[in-house]
Structure 1
Amino acid sequence: MVAELISVGTEILLGNIVNTNAAYLAEKCALLGLSLYHQSVVGDNEARMEDTIRRALERSDVVILTGGLGPTKDDLTKEVTAKVFKKALCEDAHTKERIMEFFQKIHNGEKITENNWKQALIPEGAIIVENQNGTAPGLIVIGDEGSGYEGKRAILIPGPPNECIPMFETQIAPYLSDLQPEGIYSSMVKVCAIGESRAETMVADLMDAQTNPTLAPYAKTGEVHFRVTAKAKDEESAKCLMAPMLEELKKRFGDHIYTTKEEVTLEEAVIQMLEERKMTVTTAESCTGGLLCGRLVNVPGASSVLNEAHITYSNEAKERILHVSHEILKQYGAVSEETARAMAEGACRLSGADASIAVTGIAGPEGGTPEKPVGLVYIGCMVKGRTKVEKFRFTGNRQKNREYAVARALILLRECLLAADR
């Protein structure tokens, strides 16, 4: 089944807001086994919107539209879709009641302005999708005989991500799944410390021979994710199809695999490793300025392993807080293997933690020299009295260099924890 996405809103078209809905929906449609060949963005203009919807319906079975379902005059998605499908708009009593309840609950009985009742107008015969987080319901409009789009479907979803995502996950995705003759099931294998090109080379033969299941790589900052997807009549059959490929990936990537769960992040995997070993960790950051600690603190329950962290941006702070010797800083400089080692060891002594991870580097865009260019980063890790330092040369902008440094720091900490077990 072929699907197409249309994002509605002049603010998206002009770049005033980032279109996160399209990225989310595209990925979810692919996981549902829908073929997605086109995406469009259209402003709040009736004629252009009508033309965009008609072209989408001519080449796709399902058209998913986000945005333009609000109460204002420029919210035209529902009206234009009804026009395309030759359907009248009728007030729905249940939707009107839900709008009233929502205002009483959220706005403490604030008077409802007349334009809000516009959201209770529904294309004739449409399936109403309840919105638990807003006033505009989602809608599924199916083309009747004589409409020119018989059997075609338009699915209208509110634009705010906190309304769009829950509605899609709880109601739209199951609806689309039921339309498919076979279900689509997938498993994830997340790999770190191996670059995208090398990782893809390691599975090139599997990708060349793939039929069902299929294997697709996705590059992330410091990571490569492999999605194994199978088409089958039920989940149990899909698991049987995926099992041999998953086992082969485990053989090829070994300890580089940090999780096989979709929802687990690298920082969550690292926190879990520390918890399992009943170990604590501390951080000492210079160029990353707390970004590394922030990644760890993103994990619920991080306080069980992270008691304190240090941002020592200046040389004076490195000396005073971490007790990096003045001689090391004078002889080797703040961005050096020696300083990274001293920072990691000083952080462990200061905090009494079982492990530490330290980052020092030149994020840019200024500050580099021929000997120490922008993007040069040293990361030190101490685990149970053993210290390892790695040198990196990143080539992104300031923010990207900091993000890469954080990813590599988490990877180094993980590697040192594994090494300590041997």
Structure 2
Amino acid sequence: MTAEIICVGTEILLGNIVNTNAAYLSERLAALGISVFFETTVGDNPERLEQVVHQGLERSDILILSGGLGPTKDDLTKEIAARACGQKLKEDKEAMRRLKEYFSSTRLPMTENNLKQAMVPENCTVLYNENGTAPGMVIHEERGKEVILLPGPPSELIPMFHHQVEPILQKLRPGVLFSKVIKIDCMGESSVETEILDLIEKQSNPTVAPYAKLGEVHLRVTANADTMEEAKELVKPMVMELRRRFGNKIYTEEEDITLEEVLVESLAEKKYTIAAAESCTGGMFTGRLVNVPGASDVLNESFITYSNEAKMKYLGVKEETLNTVGAVSEETAVQMAEGAAKAADADVGVGITGLAGPGGATEDKKPGLVYIGVCVHGKTKVKKYQLKGDRQKVRQVTVSRAMTMVRLALCEE
């Protein structure tokens, strides 16, 4: 079974927005065992859009279109897709009810053009939108192909696909598919793939595939069988082998669990508190922690010490250290970590200093140079990283590396 992704919107072609929908849909379809052979972005042009849809219907079993379902004149995805499938539009009473209810509750004026959002193709399954006004739909084409229309905003597309489209796609596939994720935070994608290359090459059911994330690598193990129980049994040996190979480099096997959630849970279990001293990351480490419910149980305070004066004033970093080896150094990271733990009376202290770039770089200290210190009950470890990417990426990856260092230090406690 093959699928094709068509993202609609001139703003995508112009680079005004980043097309995250295509990445999300591709990953989810792969997890469902559906092959994606083509991915197209087309502007708000009816002729070109219709050409792309007709082309997709000839070569793919499933078409998934995102965007162009709004009320304005250039929102033509539904109309073009319906025409390509030989169907007319009709009013859906439930969609109309929801539309009127939305405008009534928000006290916004419901203009005439909004009414078209309640129009749907004759032969389709309507996907009612719990996060916006435009419903999605699955058009059932006469040759047995499915054309799935989804709203463009990710906040609407993602929950609609997850809760409504995935169950439909599961039924279209022969047999039952079961998928399990293994999340690794200590290795890069190429290193992980090298470790499992034999498994990738030899296994067909279940399959294992690596996916690179920012500062992480996820392994997805997928099996197809006649029943869910059989599929789960097929996955078990592969998961056990991955556990054997990667050990504590695996931080979770849960789909929706993040690294910061694991970290907060680990600290809470040990009844430890944590404090961070951040320079180049400017509070991002602490920010990710406080995204987790219950973070207040483990985090009392942290410090953003961007200047040398702040490092000395709040953390007790020695002036001599700053004058000799500099703010971006192993010694400074150690003193920041220990100073944060002492100042906050915390069990764990984290010190992060580096050059996110491009300012401040020298011949010896290139952009992306980062030092991270982690102090647990007075025992401090420090690591040096030379990261690549722009300023934002360096900061984000630095935070992930710091969280990994804390997690592994807690494992040793």
Taking the aligned partners of 1:213 and 1:227, their CA distance within structure 2 comes to: 10
- Which secondary structure does the structure 2 equivalent of 1:404 belong to? helix
Shift of the 215–364 alpha-carbon distance from structure 1 to 2, 3 Å rule, reads same
Task: Name the structure 1 match of 2:384.
Answer: 391
Mapping for residues 23-422 of structure 1, pairs under 5 Å: 23-105=23-105, 107-108=106-107, 110-144=108-142, 150-419=143-412, 421=413
TM-score norm. by structure 1 comes to 0.94
Work out whether residues 33 and 183 of structure 1, in 8 Å CA contact, stay in contact via their aligned partners in 2: no
Taking the aligned partners of 1:96 and 1:196, their CA distance within structure 2 comes to: 48
- CA displacement at 1:190 relative to structure 2: 1.2
| Large movers: runs of 4+ above 4 Å | none
What amino acid does structure 1 have at the position aligned with 2:86? K
Work out whether residues 7 and 41 of structure 1, in 8 Å CA contact, stay in contact via their aligned partners in 2: yes
- Which secondary structure does the structure 1 equivalent of 2:18 belong to? coil
Shift of the 192–126 alpha-carbon distance from structure 1 to 2, 3 Å rule, reads closer
Taking the aligned partners of 2:44 and 2:379, their CA distance within structure 1 comes to: 61
Work out whether residues 87 and 124 of structure 1, in 8 Å CA contact, stay in contact via their aligned partners in 2: yes
- CA displacement at 1:375 relative to structure 2: 2.3
- CA displacement at 1:216 relative to structure 2: 0.5
Taking the aligned partners of 1:211 and 1:286, their CA distance within structure 2 comes to: 47
Deviations 1:152-185 (A, max 9, x none): 2211122222222222122111111111111221
Work out whether residues 31 and 220 of structure 2, in 8 Å CA contact, stay in contact via their aligned partners in 1: no
What amino acid does structure 2 have at the position aligned with 1:377? V
Taking the aligned partners of 1:62 and 1:413, their CA distance within structure 2 comes to: 44
Work out whether residues 32 and 183 of structure 1, in 8 Å CA contact, stay in contact via their aligned partners in 2: no
- CA displacement at 1:222 relative to structure 2: 2.9
What amino acid does structure 1 have at the position aligned with 2:103? F
Taking the aligned partners of 1:50 and 1:78, their CA distance within structure 2 comes to: 11
RMSD between superposed Cα atoms in Å: 1.5
Unmatched runs of 5 consecutive residues or more in structure 1: 145-149
What amino acid does structure 1 have at the position aligned with 2:2? V
Task: Name the structure 2 match of 1:14.
Answer: 14
Bigger drift between 52-61 and 204-213 goes to: 204-213
Taking the aligned partners of 2:397 and 2:361, their CA distance within structure 1 comes to: 17
Bigger drift between 153-162 and 237-246 goes to: 153-162
- Which secondary structure does the structure 2 equivalent of 1:17 belong to? coil
Shift of the 47–372 alpha-carbon distance from structure 1 to 2, 3 Å rule, reads closer
What amino acid does structure 2 have at the position aligned with 1:80? I
Shift of the 214–285 alpha-carbon distance from structure 1 to 2, 3 Å rule, reads same
Unmatched runs of 5 consecutive residues or more in structure 2: none
Taking the aligned partners of 2:348 and 2:187, their CA distance within structure 1 comes to: 23
- CA displacement at 1:112 relative to structure 2: 2.0
Number of residue pairs matched by the alignment? 413
Shift of the 376–164 alpha-carbon distance from structure 1 to 2, 3 Å rule, reads closer
Shift of the 139–383 alpha-carbon distance from structure 1 to 2, 3 Å rule, reads same
Shift of the 375–143 alpha-carbon distance from structure 1 to 2, 3 Å rule, reads closer
Deviations 1:367-394 (A, max 9, x none): 1222333222211111011111112222
Highest CA radius of gyration, 1 or 2? Answer: 1
Shift of the 283–66 alpha-carbon distance from structure 1 to 2, 3 Å rule, reads same
Taking the aligned partners of 2:226 and 2:315, their CA distance within structure 1 comes to: 59
